[in-house]
Structure 1
Amino acid sequence: MTSGSDAAVAERSTVRAFAFEAVLVTLAVLAYFGVRGLTEGSAAEAAANALRIVDLERALSIAWERQLQELVLVSHVLVSAANWVYIWGHWPVIAAVACWLFFFRRPFYLLYRNALLISGGAGLVIFALFPVAPPRLMDLGTIDTVTQYSRAYRVLQPPAFVNQYAAMPSLHLGWDLLVCMALFQSTRWRPARLFALLLPPAMFAAIVLTANHYIVDGVAGIALALAGLGVARWLAGRRAIPGRAVATAGSRYPGDDAVPPPSS
């Protein structure tokens, strides 16, 4: 077989694999949005559960949502920054990093895709069994900065397709953490690594400052994401997927030479 034929076969294989992943991810996203129907009539339950979260935070002396938001409401720049991180630091980042991993760091993609799906599946169960109204829907002295000061997020996720009672846990933060871990581990390019280090804490701040999540939601989101990654690594080992190689990736993976090496 000629090199040209080999390249054509490899290209067709990549296209088929990408199409499969696109369908899989689309179905997962539809399942996520579909859970909204399961909690549609549970506004009272979601509010009651939210008060339980607030009581827990007060017992831990970390019920800071209103005070923290008041710090940024004095500045339009700070509010816009929090909204920007919350809006553009989630789905666009996940999509961009996932595509890059798929084409250039496939082992990382497989591991972290599984981690996202596992944690997402567990999150769906929690959303259905323990719906929680976010601070912006409760009478806690906070406001919905995303809706009041920005229209972009309601375009990316129209209210009719958003689960309003999916505050606990925060997959907004948990999934960002997973994606940034994958990015940090899969490249030696310092700007990308710096971005991967900064986005999770910035997103943690954003989910609270925009009144979309409680502080405890963020902690739970991190825990669920890491648990999902742990299960994904365990499955990788059982199925002989190169999960161990992922943790020590270097120039062995195709496309590594396309990433600028770190300066010494």
Structure 2
Amino acid sequence: MGDTTVTTPEGREQAVPHSVADTADRAGRGRPRRPRTPRRPRLWFEILLIAVSYWTYSLIRNAVPEQKAEALRNADRIWELERQLGVAVEESVNHAVNSVTWLIVGMNYYYATLHFVVTLGVLVWLYRSHPGRYAATRLVLFTTTGIALVGYYLYPLAPPRLMNGQDFVDTVMVHQTWGSMASGDLKNMSNQYAAMPSMHIGWSAWSGLTLFALASVPWVRLLGLVYPAATLVVIVATANHFWLDAVGGVLCLAFGYGVALLWYGSRPYALPRQVPDGGEGLPAHRPRLPRSRPEPDVRSGREPARTAPEPARTDPAGQTPP
């Protein structure tokens, strides 16, 4: 619908401008959807969300059919591929580290505990120190974990320690250490054939990148880089994963960052550190409206000068004319 026109006494047509609301409505129709604005996280909701999400993750992961025969065949294929490429180092690392008892025992406990402790600790730190970036960074973690569940279903894979005809050492069984959900008496509580992708790598890389990007203390940032690298050594040395499983974990993490980027329109770490006082990502107080000013001269583009009131004129007799 075009602009309404009126005819002036001079015979020229002038367009009557639309209202501000009409203009904003028209502009909004062709504008892409505004990215979601970070909100202030709520403690009770985050605790509930993390608890329910991990319970659901464990339930689905363990409910995936073990598909033992297919998982073993996939393990043989990966091992053969690595041997052809000359990168099949898992068995050598497994035997070398297993020969140092204190080292392999420490790695067994590392594998069983830090996976959860560090990830949860980084979440708590984000909540307290970077509330404006918390939701977006948490979305990366949750999306990474969710896509991993799809991988467990579509590509069952046995860990190296369960392969037939190979000489890998199950370090938890040999050294009788506590904590592995895939060995000993606890093996029936976990799907042992869900090795691809490795969430030990996915979660540790998420934790490490978050610390490196946001921490202000230099040694903490350095620790953020060391942590996923050390985790890679641990998962290979304990024969719980091929190193290609780590590649799968990194790909899942990249997918998670992509989702967060699309959802928030920005990298999680580039968002504001704090949420505004309004709590909804909006200003806490309405901005003050500008004071009314004289209408500008449309033809000249200049605003009229402010002048003092003109004094009343008088005739020579001293009387004010009517």
Q: Does 1:236 align with 2:264?
A: yes
User: For the residues of structure 2 that align with 1:50 and 1:230, how far apart are their CA atoms?
Assistant: 29
Deviations 1:197-229 (A, max 9, x none): 111100000000000000110111112212211
Give the C-alpha shift of residue 20 in structure 1. Answer: 1.4
Instruction: Pick from 118, 138, 145 the counterpart of residue 171 of structure 2.
Output: 145
1:91-128 deviation line (CA, Å, top 9, x unaligned) = 01011111111122123321221111111111101101
1:44-88 Cα distance to aligned partner (Å, 9 max, x none): 111112112212212222111111111112211221232233223
Q: Is the 8 A contact 1:32 1:124 kept in 2?
A: yes
Rg larger in structure:
2
Query: Runs of at least 4 residues of structure 1 off by over 6 A?
Result: none
State the TM-score, normalized to the length of structure 1: 0.80
Separation in 2 of the partners of 1:60 and 1:248?
Answer: 42
Can you list the C-alpha shifts for 1:148-184, whole angstroms capped at 9, x where unaligned? Answer: 33113459x9434322111111111111101111122
Structure 2 counterpart SS, 1:204: helix
Aligned mate of 1:206, from 234, 251, 275: 234
Cα distance in 1 for residues equivalent to 2:239 and 2:109: 14
User: Per the alignment, in what secondary structure is the counterpart of residue 89 of structure 1?
Assistant: helix
TM-score, normalising length: structure 2: 0.66
Identity %: 34
Q: 1:130 Cα shift?
A: 1.0
Alignment gaps of 5+ in structure 2: 1-38, 276-322
Residue deviations 1:210-257, cap 9 Å, x none?
Answer: 0000011011111221221122122111xxxxx4572376xx548xxx
Secondary structure of the structure 1 residue equivalent to 2:156: coil
Partner residue of 1:246?
A: 269
Letter in 1 for 2:46: E
Q: What residue in structure 2 maps to residue 134 of structure 1? A: 159
State the alpha-carbon separation in 2 of the partners of residues 245 and 134 from structure 1.
Answer: 33
The amino acid of 2:171's aligned partner reads T
CA contact (8 A) 1:82 1:210 kept: yes
CA shift at 1:37, angstroms?
Answer: 1.7
Question: Quick check: 1:164 aligned with 2:187?
Answer: no
Equivalents in 2 of 1:146, 1:248: separation in Å? 42
Query: Quick one: distance in 1 between partners of 2:274 and 2:111?
Result: 32
**Cα separation, partners in 2 of 1:219 and 1:30, compared to 1, 3 Å:** same
> Structure 2 matches for 1:1-264, cutoff 5 A?
17-34=42-59, 35-40=61-66, 42-139=67-164, 140-149=166-175, 150-154=177-181, 158-237=186-265, 243-244=266-267, 246-247=269-270, 253=274
